[in-house]
Amino acid sequence: MASVARKIIKSFSPKSQPEGVGAVVRRCIGGSRNYLDPFLMCDFATVSQPDGFPDHPHRGFETVSYILEGAIAHEDFAGHKGVIKAGDIQWMTAGRGIVHAEMPAPSASALQLWVNLPSTEKMCKPAYQELQDANIPRATPEEGITIKVIAGESHGVKSPVFTRTQTMIMDFSLAANKKVEQPVPKGWNGFVYVIDGDGFFGGDRFLGKANHALFLDEERQGEYFPVETGDESVRFMLFAGKPLEEPVVHYGPFVMNTEREILQTLYDYEHYKNGFELAKNFRSSIAEKI
């Protein structure tokens, strides 16, 4: 039986909106229960000092921060501190609780993706996986095609990132007049964000342009995703993940499975319990100007 290509069913250009303190984001996913299981939110953000994302909590999911230009400083209540530069990735598992700040150093353009955790992992111990640009593996199936494998596998090249929720994230660059096919497991949801240029995406050769989000068909029966360029080059990111098919209750920076768990989370955060003990005396140094 011949393999089936995934198609694009919808596309839109996310409008710029404010977020954090003075940041501007293009939100592909998120808000008003606009989820794409297992993805909760996806923002492409631009921010400059003194603005940013000062001290705030998370529980129940993972954040993936990928720096496109500039740099972002990060600091949390457990003493984890550093700077993520252009091309670097930080995969943060908030688990049972993190309070942190993310601030431009001095400016940045970046992706942040929220990946839901299964119910069995929502209260896991917080953790970080960080890779500098040079250590993110690349697949080069032919000249003029480069694929940064942030999570998952492409053309025999695997990312070292451990994904508690089965996920693939890739940064594709194709020169003009090139074609590539990326396997995507049956049953997975997926979407594309076009960073620059344009190309033809999916089995229906949908024309995707810069700053547009494209969503793969909901039937999820295809086994691969083709992309082809014409006279222009294209750079885009592909996101795909296995749906958790669990209830989602989202309240601000907390994502759990039930309202009762959200109420417990609010109690824990306000009373510095069950993962938020270190929040009581925490004030980040990188956000002290705000």
Binding residues: 56, 58, 100, 102
HSE on the CB side for 61, CA within 13 Å? 25
HEC profile for 198-221? EEEECCCCEEEECCCEEEECCCCC
- Alpha-carbon distance of 182 to 156, in angstroms, equals 11
Could you give the angle at the alpha carbon of 16 between the alpha carbons of 41 and 229, nearest 5°? 80
- Alpha-carbon distance of 165 to 188, in angstroms, equals 12
For the record, the structure tokens of 207 come out as: 């024309």
HSE on the CB side for 104, CA within 13 Å? 22
- Alpha-carbon distance of 133 to 25, in angstroms, equals 23
- Alpha-carbon distance of 141 to 148, in angstroms, equals 12
For the record, the structure tokens of 206 come out as: 């949908």
- Alpha-carbon distance of 87 to 131, in angstroms, equals 9
| Pairing verdict, β 224-228 and 179-183 | antiparallel
HSE on the CB side for 50, CA within 13 Å? 5
Binding site residues for Fe cation, as ranges?
56, 58, 100, 102
